[in-house]
Amino acid sequence: MITAGPLSMQLSAFPRTQSPGAPARWQQLWRQALRDPQTLLARLDLDAAALGVSEAAIAQFALRVPEGFVARMRRGDAHDPLLRQVLPIDAEMRPAPGFSFDAVGDGAAKKATGVIQKYRGRALLVATGSCAINCRYCFRRHFDYGAENAAKGGWQEAVEAIAADPDIDEVILSGGDPLSLATHKLAELTDALRGIAHIRRLRIHTRLPIVLPERVDDELLAWLGDLPWPLAIVVHANHANEFDASVDTAMARLRGIGAQLLNQAVLLRGVNDSVQALQDLSERSFAAGVLPYYLHQLDRVEGVAHFEVDDVQAKALIAGLTARLSGYLVPKLVRELPGDPSKRPV
């Protein structure tokens, strides 16, 4: 790993304030996440009944949203794009043809407990089922994390499956959100992976640096900076308003230990389904040092149909974006379909 400078020098600018043995600040903030829609909407001066908040949707997939993310929402705006991503509403409970519990074929691609392999050379580890935020469009909202969790048994089965396949040269940590695990737990995994000679790259898919940027602390940076592989961190932001100064700081710190930062977004009706919203997202992401990577067409998992944007409109949005921006700021519009050898361009 090539870093921007000695890690000790980088971290000295961010002195530790945590007492030994005490929970890290990000863990404290995690525990303070809002879980009650009434409390969330009262904070925003909005009425739950008018917005169609659904107790059935909450029972199926709970609300969770960190206070820092709530602070980026617009008070009094029932159509706020950040609020729409997290608020459980009646539309989630309406059946829709073509939507299923496993829209992307995770079950059929199982290689070992918590290990999914869909594409040549890459193995994805479902490291945990936990997330700091519950996004209503989540394609794994019905996933059986209790049974399919690579951390079970001290990572042994997952590591053995990767070691046994010399064609795997890239490991992808996913979830849930892998950074919801304590750093020492993540280090257990990467310590076990170090002995596998055919691994050449590590990728981490995470939303935490966006929704809970305090997760990017000294301990995490020390672990990342010590990894022996080139590192790509794929963050997930769908709207420019998800970025603020705290997120910018987290991204700068991740770049400082040599990580390549990419953003993948999901095209969501009522959130980012305009050329202007997508332009703002690409430009704001790049200003924070994060290169636009993928714009996903919605994975058709049960409960998310109200977010769907049809392909005709999606292509028109990308055409409009291409006419406005440099090529490197235009994400690839893709869809994931079971059985395909890669993401499918739309």
Binding residues for [4Fe-4S] cluster: 131, 135, 138
Rounded to 10 degrees, the C-alpha dihedral 300/312/295/135 comes to: -40
Q: Any idea which residue has 């990000």 for tokens?
A: 26
For 84, phi then psi, to 5°, come to: -60, -30
Helix, strand, coil shares, percent, the chain, to 5: 40, 15, 45
In sequence order, what are the residues at sequence separation of 6 or more whose Cβ sits closer than 8 angstroms to the Cβ of residue 119?
Answer: 341, 342
Instruction: Starting at the earlier edge strand, list the strands of the sheet with 291-296.
Output: 110-112, 115-116, 122-126, 170-174, 201-206, 231-235, 260-266, 291-296, 332-335, 344-345
Single-letter code of the amino acid located at 202:
L
Buried b (16+ CB within 10 A) or exposed e, 175-202: bbbbbbbebeebbbbbebbeebeebeeb
User: Rounded to whole angstroms, how far apart are CA atoms 53 and 37?
Assistant: 7
User: Rounded to whole angstroms, how far apart are CA atoms 296 and 314?
Assistant: 10
Binding-site residue positions: 131, 135, 138
User: Rounded to whole angstroms, how far apart are CA atoms 66 and 132?
Assistant: 7
Q: Is the dihedral of CA 339, 264, 290, 173 positive or negative?
A: negative
Count other C-beta atoms under 10 Å from residue 88's C-beta.
24
